[in-house]
A and B are shown apart, each in its own frame.
Chain A
Amino acid sequence: MKNWFRRRDRSQEIHEEVERHLAMRAELNCAAGMSPDEARTGARRQFGNAALIEEDVRGVRGFPWLESLAQDARYALRGFARSPVFTATAILTIALGIGASTAVFSLVDRILFRPLPYPQADRLVSIGIVAPSVDKSEFVFADAYVQMRARQTPFSQITTFGFINDCDLSEQNAVRLRCAMVESTFLPTFGIQPALGRNFTHAEDQPNASKVALLSYSFWKNRFGGDTGVVGRSISVDGQPTNIVGVLPRDFELFNLSPIDLLIPEAINEARPGNGRVFRAFGRLRPGVGVEQARAAMEPLFEEQRRTVPPQFRKELRLVIRPLRDRQIGDMRLASWTLFAAVLVVLLIASANVANLMLARSASRRREWTIRAAIGAGRWRLARQVLTESVLLASIGAVAGCGLAWLLLRFFAAAAPHGIMRLDQASLDGRVLLFAIALALASGVLFGLAPALDTPAASMAAGRTVVSSRGLLRHVLIAAQIAASLILLAGAGLLLRSLWNLEKVPLGMDTERTVAAQFVIGRGYDELAFFTRLEARLQSLPGSPVYAISDNIPPYGGFRGRPFFVLNVEGRPPFPEGTGGMVGWRYVTPGYFAAMGIPMVRGRAFTEEERNAQEMPIVLSRELAHRLFPESDALGRHILSTDKGAWHTVVGVAGDVINVGLERRPEPEYYELRKNFPDVTYANRQPGVGWRGASVIVRSPLSTESMSRNLRGILAELDPAVPVTVQTLQERASTLTVTPRFDALLLGGFAGVGLLLAAIGIYGVIAFLVGQRTREVGVRIALGATPTAVTRMFLSHAAGWTLAGIVVGLAGSLAVTQLLAGMLFQVNARDPWSLAVAPALLLAVALTAAWLPARRAARIDPVRTLREE
């Protein structure tokens, strides 16, 4: 910028120097006896073209190209001001393309490209076994991990993460916290330094060591006001004195992006043989070791482990070692790439449109170009003028596009509040703006290239007629737009069909007029007494609703699981250990099935009387009943014996409920009854939250708003400190389709924009042709062509190029939609419907767009056009 001002000064200086020269010459002329006027004109005449010479002098210094670039830009801007419609259309089109691309980039950049916030994050991998019926993500058992840690070679360090639990800061102003349990090597492996204090040591990470914790940055700021003296202080966590050893850095991010408040030792009991506690394991690859090598090196260790599991279970197990990013984004990768590619295609279509606009404009500027070429503008100079214009247009478009991107991001956030990873982080920062600039330059050059190569100097040199070649180029651009739009439409069609299928999947329950509240009560409670009090309040709710308490509810979220083989049946030999995968179960009150709207297929639901009796009734899901009793009736059968030999009696079979996502068949489940006293099931509480986590379900003819209010009121009365999530079942169910809906919405939107742009493109080209051939059409009409024939002439012209585009587009669609297969549900990637509807729609839109100007051609008055001759 400074340079720029200096250049302005210098121009001024040169001008002054020349003026001085002229003055001196004039003075001399005066002295020789000329009149002052004559003296001045003489001086000028002798000097020659002062402006040109000044230009030359300026050219000696610095950047003549910059100077002439500024000149080109000024010229271009004047040109834009003269043709506002062209300019506005071009800028809007390009803003649309760049805006959408930038918004989507800001989203996928976080997911696909931006390095994870750990040093040398590409060396970090997730390690574990996968058993499809247990967990989608890889895990390790504690004992196997301890062995692996001692004997592994491919990693410079490995570590484990032991899940996140609710925990209570049990002091004054008690709050519920999220505590992440990790090994002492967790932070070093990820390369994270505490912002304050230190990491906990191996000695502190032992089962009986005194408790220590690291605070998250935000918890430290909010609870302790960022007090640096907090290290070394003791706080009470779940009633146990815990020493604060450090504070995590502000940008600390857990591998699964979960927010946490405290980081505490997981304290693996290494002495306990066959410790089956489950962990997530991570490793940092040694320099020079790749993921494949690491897998090969770990395979023998894994094989040893596998031999310890029962043979039936064995073939299900698989060793997984994958980059941390892969683990993090999972199936988001395909969707991200799809949206990114789609939006770039939209940008290409937009660029083709602007290229066509510019070609049309350059046709009307033909005379100007020819004159400029005739007075000596070189081919490169003219091409540069066109490129300056196109890049300038793209840049203005990019500025407008950034505004649009900002709006789109807000729209994304509203459309998919929780479904899209890192959406809350997406913003138009420097990196994204750089991308927008790169897009502007690239698209500017792209759509400027065709008109730039088409300047008259070029064509005069080539000695050919310009119109035909330009016409061909314009039509090829149109066909390309049609092809690209078709691919987008076909893709969007597939995703929409897939979404439609997903929405049609029966949930197995009735989500109308039902509200659910989820919470985890603190450790201080007598749990049974708390839930008894809660039920008493629920009974007194207005509108006598159906209510129930369960530990968790479908259609997603965890549920308790047990291995299938423990479900022994009375009178049958026990199942071989380790067979059949996992079975889910829930711990419910009698009203559960009525409140959730789950139909009883056979038998009945639990009764209130059974809650006081010693008998153990059980309800099976239809799937489980079918697996246990494929040929006979399940009712009245005895299954699942306790240690003391007591049996559960099957009293009913309930309909299957979606519990592992819409795409998969429901996993088998069973239900146990919450008793009014601590029975075997109650005593058999599992570690972690035990029975403290619960869901309350209320179904009532009252409005869901008032039910939510009542429910909140009851829980606040019982314990105002417990955080509660209240949702209608409908809201809860709809989150299942948030991501596919978002993907389909976006791709559908892009396809729509692509279609619109292609239609505008066709309209423009046919309108241009009509304008160019007015005279010819006039002659035709004078010679007897009917209006229909004229319209048909233009329409068949448009149809020809559209069909060419469709053929190419169909071939492209067949190739591209195959890649979408992973995102589709019950739709073939070569779904004939989508592949038939898209071209038909496109053809209809294209012909309509062509028909509008073609109709004008049919109305041409031959007399007037011929008179103009």
Chain B
Amino acid sequence: MADSLQGTLDLLILKTLQLGPNHGFGITLHIQTASQGLLNVEEGSLYPALHRLERDKLVKAEWKTTGNRRRARVYTLTAAGRKRLGEAEESWTSLAKGVGRLLRYV
């Protein structure tokens, strides 16, 4: 249970990267916009999470020059990351379903 909640940030990151490679700032922006401002990722948690994912080989990172000739560390989903994303989505859905049922139960 606690694991699932802590894994939420990982899930958000992996899901964002499914759309394509992105850098940390881009990921923050995407999560904010996609959730229409409901989810606000703190940088203090984002970067440790990104590096943890990289350490676990779920994403890989390299320095790239972005559109307007700026260098940034860009993260890409790996095959293992894709697999993990599938599992995480599934477990999140069941968690959400479970929590939903519990809340509806009066």
Contacts and interface: CB of A to CB of B under 8 A. Distances in A.
Interface of A: 13-14, 16-18, 20-21, 23-25, 46-49, 52-53, 56-57, 59-61
Contacts of A47: 43-44
Interface in B65-85: 70-73
A interface majority secondary structure:
helix
A63 to B, nearest CB: 13
Contact of A17 (B24, B52, B70): B24
Contact of B55 (A13, A17, A21, A61): A61
B43 A53 contact: yes
Contacts of B23: 20-21, 24
Given A20-B72, A56-B47, 17 more contacts: A14-B47, A17-B24, A20-B23, A20-B25, A21-B24, A21-B47, A46-B43, A47-B44, A48-B44, A49-B44, A53-B44, A53-B47, A53-B48, A57-B47, A59-B48, A60-B51, A60-B55
A46 B46 CA distance: 13
Given A20-B25, A20-B71, A20-B72, A48 B42 contact: yes
A500 B51 CA distance: 75
Contact of B44 (A13, A14, A23, A56): A56
Contacts of B25: 20-21, 24-25
**Nearest 10 CB-CB pairings of A with B:** A24-B25, A60-B51, A17-B73, A56-B48, A57-B47, A21-B25, A53-B44, A47-B43, A60-B52, A48-B44
26 contacts: A16-B73, A17-B24, A17-B47, A18-B43, A18-B47, A20-B24, A20-B71, A20-B72, A21-B24, A21-B43, A21-B47, A23-B70, A24-B23, A24-B70, A25-B25, A47-B43, A48-B43, A53-B43, A53-B47, A56-B47, A57-B47, A59-B48, A60-B51, A60-B52, A61-B51, A61-B55
A269 B72 CA distance: 93
Interface string B43-60: 110011001100100000
Given A25-B25, A48-B42, A53-B43, A20 B70 contact: yes
A622 to B, nearest CB: 91
Contacts, number: 53
Nearest to A52: B44
Contacts of A52: 44
Contacts of B42: 48
A23 B42 CA distance: 16
B84 to A, nearest CB: 17
A61 B55 CA distance: 7
Given A20-B23, A21-B25, A48-B42, A57 B70 contact: no
B11 to A, nearest CB: 18
A60 B72 contact: no
A56 B49 CA distance: 10
Contacts of A20: 23-25, 70-73
Nearest to A50: B43
Contacts of A21: 23-25, 43, 47
Contacts of B70: 20, 23-24
A18 B48 CA distance: 11
Contacts of B44: 47-49, 52-53, 56
B51 A57 contact: yes
Contacts of B71: 20
A18 B25 CA distance: 9
A57 B73 contact: no
Contacts of A24: 23, 25, 70, 72
Contacts of A18: 43, 47
A14 B51 CA distance: 9
Contacts of A56: 44, 47-48
Nearest to B73: A17
Nearest to A17: B73
Contacts of B55: 60-61
A52 B23 CA distance: 20
Given A48-B43, A53-B43, A60 B24 contact: no
A57 B61 CA distance: 14
A15 to B, nearest CB: 11
B76 to A, nearest CB: 15
Contacts of B73: 13, 16-17, 20
A26 to B, nearest CB: 11
A56 B43 CA distance: 11
A53 to B, nearest CB: 5
Which residue of B23, B44, B47 has the most chain A CB atoms within 10 A of its CB atom? B47
A17 B73 CA distance: 6
A53 B49 CA distance: 11
A61 B53 CA distance: 11
B71 to A, nearest CB: 7
A820 to B, nearest CB: 61
A82 to B, nearest CB: 34
Nearest to A60: B51
Which residue of B25, B52, B71 has the most chain A CB atoms within 10 A of its CB atom? B25
Contacts of A13: 73
A17 B25 CA distance: 10
B43 A57 contact: no
B28 to A, nearest CB: 8
A14 B23 CA distance: 13
Nearest to B23: A20
Contacts of A48: 42-44
Contacts of A23: 70
B55 to A, nearest CB: 6
Contacts of A49: 44
A57 B43 CA distance: 11
A20 B26 CA distance: 11
B48 to A, nearest CB: 5
A265 B53 CA distance: 75
Nearest to B52: A60
Contacts of B24: 17, 20-21
B1 to A, nearest CB: 23
B47 to A, nearest CB: 5
Nearest to A20: B72
A25 B28 CA distance: 10
Interface string B28-44: 00000000000000111
Contacts of B51: 14, 57, 60-61
Contacts of B72: 17, 20, 24
